[in-house]
């Protein structure tokens, strides 16, 4: 029973950590309508920088703003390639993602393990002072929940600002942004900067949680983020009081739980990418059908 509880807590914790990534994909996919594959590079970028900083004795809390900054830089590069150089959105993301693979290798090598004696955000003195009475698994859950909620509320607040409303308008009606005498290219770049900063932050927290970096850990993260967004927004689209960020957060937990169930029932680990792809395809099909139903009734 205790092992089941630990497994459940671990799954929810993972879902909360990856919700940060899903927030970023929400911005690119839902808000900007921009298929940004930079995600598969900015996620391990945040982890690589974090692993190196932790290994060199840097304060673990400092790794979080640094991850935000390097992720923002990745998003900025993709935005500039797309807007200033006129490269198509999908190709711009692929170019940055490919470049980041080499950059990540230069930063942290192919693999980097953080020593068990090194403090992380889950074991640092300040964290222990507040949550020291909790078991490690519970402490990870609580800290991850706090991070997921803080950035959820920050995004909710931002979306209600003038800048946030312009960001949402670019995806829905870019002509409207132009008529308001605003540069839609700059708005797109801002959206990519915010999105990839969140993605890199997610990678950083994963590094804290797993105490490890791998050059291949970014593979499939775009699919995970899209699946979380589609699951959340599809399940809760009929609940107007549900904000999109809340739906995505829950969608991330559901998707992580689905993968964990697949593993628990004995599906081979080497088939997980295939299973993930099939599950994602099913989610896309269901999502498209519901969109068609809505348009027909409208």
Of 139, 107, 108, 112, the C-alpha closest to 126 is 139
Selected residue with higher pLDDT from 227 and 175: 227
pLDDT of res. 2: 65
Selected residue with higher pLDDT from 169 and 177: 169
DSSP characters over 51-117:
HHHHHTT--GGGHHHHHHHHHHHHHHHHHHHHHTS---HHHHHHHHHHHHHHHHHHHH-SEEEPPTT
Task: Quote the pTM value.
Answer: 0.92
The whole-angstrom separation of Cα 24 and Cα 154 is: 13
Q: 290 pLDDT exceeds 70?
A: no
Q: 50 pLDDT exceeds 90?
A: yes
Query: For 2-297, CATH number?
Result: 1.10.3470
Selected residue with higher pLDDT from 283 and 231: 231
Q: Which residues contact 150 (CB under 8 A, 6 or more apart)?
A: none
pLDDT of res. 275: 74
* Span 188-217, average pLDDT: 95
Q: 3 pLDDT exceeds 80?
A: no
Q: At what angle do helices 89-108 and 39-55 cross, to 10 degrees?
A: 20
User: Tokens 């909710």 map to which residue?
Assistant: 156
At residue 1, the 3 state secondary structure works out as coil
pLDDT of res. 173: 62
Question: Model confidence at 291, in pLDDT bands (50, 70, 90)?
Answer: low
Selected residue with higher pLDDT from 282 and 194: 194
* Span 174-191, average pLDDT: 74
Question: Model confidence at 177, in pLDDT bands (50, 70, 90)?
Answer: low
């Amino acid at each position: 029973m205790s092992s089941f509880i630990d497994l459940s807590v671990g799954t929810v914790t993972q879902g909360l950590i990856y919700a940060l990534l899903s927030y970023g994909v929400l911005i690119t996919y839902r808000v900007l309508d921009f298929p940004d594959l930079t995600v598969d590079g900015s996620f391990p970028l945040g982890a690589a920088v974090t692993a190196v900083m932790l290994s060199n004795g840097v304060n673990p809390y400092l790794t979080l703003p640094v991850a935000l900054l390097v992720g923002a830089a990745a998003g900025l590069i993709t935005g500039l390639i797309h807007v200033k150089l006129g490269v198509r959105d999908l190709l711009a993301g692929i170019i940055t993602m490919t470049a980041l693979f080499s950059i990540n290798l230069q930063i942290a090598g192919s693999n980097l393990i953080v020593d068990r004696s090194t403090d992380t955000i889950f074991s640092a003195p300040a964290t222990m002072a507040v949550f020291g009475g909790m078991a490690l698994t519970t402490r990870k859950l609580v800290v991850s929940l706090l991070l997921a909620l803080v950035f959820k509320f920050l995004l909710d607040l931002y979306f209600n600002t003038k800048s946030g409303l312009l960001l949402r308008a670019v995806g829905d009606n870019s002509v409207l942004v132009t008529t308001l005498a605003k540069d839609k290219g700059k708005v797109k770049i801002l959206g990519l900067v915010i999105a990839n900063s969140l993605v890199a932050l997610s990678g950083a927290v994963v590094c804290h949680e797993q105490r490890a970096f791998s050059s291949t850990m970014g593979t499939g993260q775009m699919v995970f983020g899209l699946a979380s967004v589609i699951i959340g927004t599809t399940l809760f689209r009929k609940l107007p009081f549900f904000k999109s960020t809340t739906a995505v957060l829950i969608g991330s937990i559901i998707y992580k739980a689905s993968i964990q169930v697949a593993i628990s029932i004995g599906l081979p680990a080497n088939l997980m990418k295939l299973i993930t792809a099939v599950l994602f395809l099913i989610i896309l099909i269901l999502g498209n059908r519901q969109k068609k139903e809505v348009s027909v009734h409208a």
